[in-house]
Amino acid sequence: MPRDALFNAVYNNWHSWGLIVKDAKGKMMVTKEVPENGENDPEKIFKLLNDNVDCQRILHLRFATKGAVNEQNAQPFQVYNSSKRQVWFMHNGTLGSFGPAYSANPPPDQVSDSFDYAEKQLSKALLHWTGENGKADYTDEAFYETVIKHSWTQQSKGILISNDLQDIFWGPTGGWQVFKQEGDDLPEILVSNDDYFKSVTRGPESDRRKKKLEEQRTASGQSEIPFANRQHGGTGGIIDKATFLRSTLAKDPKVIQLLTTIWNDINLYEFKDAADFGHVTTEEWAAYVEKEEPACIALLLEIMATHMYDARAEIMKLENDLVRKHAKIGELMEARRDKAA
């Protein structure tokens, strides 16, 4: 994997990491780590990947959204283990019917939705499932239809890996992506998303870079220019916000995709992240979207950021309502399954 892309991904997802290395005979080495200093080490991960370049490698980088930052919640999770077959599970997304409700400060032993799903759903199902390939045959088509489909959320992406079965990927159409960085001769790799490869947008490393930039500005005597006095994108003068918003959206459909990427990169449910998001400068947005016509899109993102910061309370209310609805749906479905049984 390209060094710069990997380092950016590690910095953006810094809470824990896990790596499966599988050789041609199916023998697997699993490494998981929750760093004591609170930050994943990109050099260590990069070296492990390159030291095992002749094997299959599956890497998970965690940014904690539900559940505590601890070894228990670090992925992958082993969901089946016998003398002949070992099965591991990795997940990206949110499974609303599993795990706790979102909390900015979870208890130190609180499980994540991914761990909860692995324990309550996958482990129990695989223990009792037999297909053409024997016990815990997750490649059986009926396994997905019977066990997975009813509890899998639309935007979640998952993978099952074993020593002797084909890997299985779950997710929405187009959810898994092929990644290859322009200008290098490295092979293509499969990723659950490529949102975190271009730049560092959150986490301790992002904070350090922001602090350094601020120190450089202070040392050089630069100060932030108020929005009303800025000149933007070759417009020749001050422009009306609403007019800019309408005209930009009409001319450049890439804006919608970029906004989705930004939304995924920043945890708006954390007050600090929301506050940082609301005060990003035009120059910082331009650096973030340097390949996406920055003068135009950067200003739009800055305008949107201000409104999103003001709407934080409403966003959290909607999130909590959705979590409660998912939990209720899960209870109803469980009751139906019990009744059918």
Q: For the chain, what is the domain count?
A: 2
Asked if residue 66 is part of any domain, the answer here is: yes
Same domain membership, residue 151 and residue 279: no
Same domain membership, residue 130 and residue 7: yes
Determine the pLDDT at residue 240. 47
Instruction: Inform me whether the pLDDT recorded for 251 exceeds 60.
Output: no
Instruction: Inform me whether the pLDDT recorded for 210 exceeds 90.
Output: no
108-117, 197-206, 313-322: segment of lowest average pLDDT = 313-322
Q: What residues make up the domain containing 279?
A: 225-310
Long-range residue pairs from 76-81, CB within 8 A, at least 24 positions apart, any chain: 76/18, 76/20, 76/30, 76/32, 76/161, 77/114, 77/115, 77/118, 77/119, 77/122, 78/30, 79/118, 79/122, 79/123, 79/126, 79/160, 80/122, 80/123, 80/126, 80/127, 80/136, 80/162
Instruction: Inform me whether the pLDDT recorded for 22 exceeds 90.
Output: yes
Asked if residue 242 is part of any domain, the answer here is: yes
**End position of a domain, from candidates 191, 210, 237:** 191
Asked if residue 282 is part of any domain, the answer here is: yes
Instruction: Inform me whether the pLDDT recorded for 230 exceeds 90.
Output: no
pLDDT tier, 277 (very low <50, low <70, confident <90, very high otherwise): low
Instruction: Inform me whether the pLDDT recorded for 202 exceeds 80.
Output: yes
Determine the pLDDT at residue 182. 79
Amino acid present at 183: G
Same domain membership, residue 251 and residue 293: yes
* Rounded CA separation 14/32 (Å): 13
We report the CATH number of the domain holding residue 161 as 3.60.20
* Rounded CA separation 237/228 (Å): 10
- pLDDT, tens digit (0-9, with 9 covering 90-100), for 124-160: 999 999 999 999 999 998 999 999 888 888 778 999 9
The stretch 316-328 carries a mean pLDDT of 70
Strand order in the sheet with 86-92: 77-81, 86-92, 157-162, 168-170
Structure tokens at 326: 């998912």
234 DSSP 8-state letter: T
Asked if residue 295 is part of any domain, the answer here is: yes
- Which among 126, 111, 27, 43 is positioned nearest to 75, based on CA atoms? 111
Asked if residue 146 is part of any domain, the answer here is: yes
| C-beta neighbour count of 71 within 10 angstroms | 9
140-149, 181-190, 251-260: segment of lowest average pLDDT = 251-260
Determine the pLDDT at residue 218. 80
